[in-house]
Amino acid sequence: MDGNKDESIRCVNIAQKFIAAGENEKAIKFLNKALRLYPLEKAKVLLNDLQNNEGGRGGGEPPPKNAEGIRQRTRGGTDQKEKAENQENEPADYTQEQLQLVKRIKKCKDYYEILGVSKEATETDLKKAYRKLALQMHPDKNKAPGATEAFKAIGNAFSVLSDPSKRKKYDVYGPETDTSHSHAHSDYTHGGYEGDISPEELFNMFFGGGFPSSGTTHYRRSRHAHHTHNFYTRDTQSESGYTLFLQLTPILLLIFLSILSSFFVSDPVFSMHRTDKYSVERKTYNLKIPYYVKEDFRPEYKGEMRRIERNVEEEYIGQLRGNCWRERSYKENLLWKARNYGDAKLYQRAQDYQTPSCDQLQKLYS
């Protein structure tokens, strides 16, 4: 509704310019359009004055007093008409493409149509569609009328469809399950389905607050939901202490068992890192992997060297595999971001990123 109000104000401004130019019929046309968009009091007053004047004159214009008045009125009317038409056809703060995108989203009937994806869309498809639309529709970038509501619709659509349980419910019952919401609210909730976070918070999660939040207002939960939450909060306060104790019992039991077991479990045979207790360095016979043992290691484990060194090598290779997986994942994420945003510097950084654990693992295998 706020977007309609902005458009209504713009129509009133154009109508005032036509009134100054003597183009009353065009002024009436724009005032009627303004009232259809939003019931502005100023539009009602201007339209009423124009209709009364038109009725008193029988639809005709009052005759000018002299020829100079005709020339002045003609010149002034032409200038004002051109300015009004230029203002209408060439808005300075948004493009026609941005306005068309806003209109398309506001006409959509369901969340899949808003994001432009099919009902079989994966999580990756939803993220790609949201990223593209959110950057185009953020009100601090798109100044077209209705951009704020369209931005909310995009955020709420992704928030619902990206949640498996909410998406399943939405697919089963459809977007028209609740008709009690107002029209303005249903512009972005489509039948009462709301995400758990606001569109602006969702945008900041994706882009790290790429735009300032001054142009966007966070939508709030309904007053009914607020009262319901308070009701359940008061009811559960008396049971909170007992419930908390039950929830903490397994954790306390685990802590107790851990402390108890520490008295019966002996120290490990070796360590992969040097410490005060494990100060003697050794290397495995097969892969030459360094490890550390206690000073009394040799006489105590003399007959189990092969088993111990096999365990050392398995633990070392397991650590390399875990580190290699993290290094490759980080490099792939850098490459994906660089390609997605067209960032040449980030792409070069990803290409230069080293994976020493993977290199060491490959060296061992070869």
φ, ψ for residue 116 (rounded to 5)? 75, 35
Instruction: Report CA Rg, the chain.
Output: 35
Measure the CA–CA gap between 318 and 71, rounded to whole angstroms: 93
pLDDT of 213 reads 42
pLDDT at res. 256? 82
Q: What pLDDT is stored for residue 176 in this prediction?
A: 56
Domain boundaries, the chain: 2-89, 96-220, 228-262, 280-365
- In this prediction, the residues of the chain whose per-residue pLDDT falls under 50 are 56-74, 89-92, 177-187, 210-236
For residue 214, the 8-state DSSP code is G
The listed CATH number (3.30.565.10, 3.40.50.720, 3.40.50.300, 1.10.287.110) that belongs to domain 96-220: 1.10.287.110
Query: What own/partner pairs with CB < 8 Å and gap ≥ 24 does 53-59 have?
Result: 53/24, 54/24, 54/28
Q: What is the pLDDT of residue 265?
A: 63
Classify 347 in phi/psi space as left (phi over 0), alpha (psi -120 to 50) or beta: alpha
Cβ neighbour number for residue 198 with a 10 Å cutoff: 20
**To which H or E segment does residue 281 belong?**
strand 280-283
Residues in the chain: 366
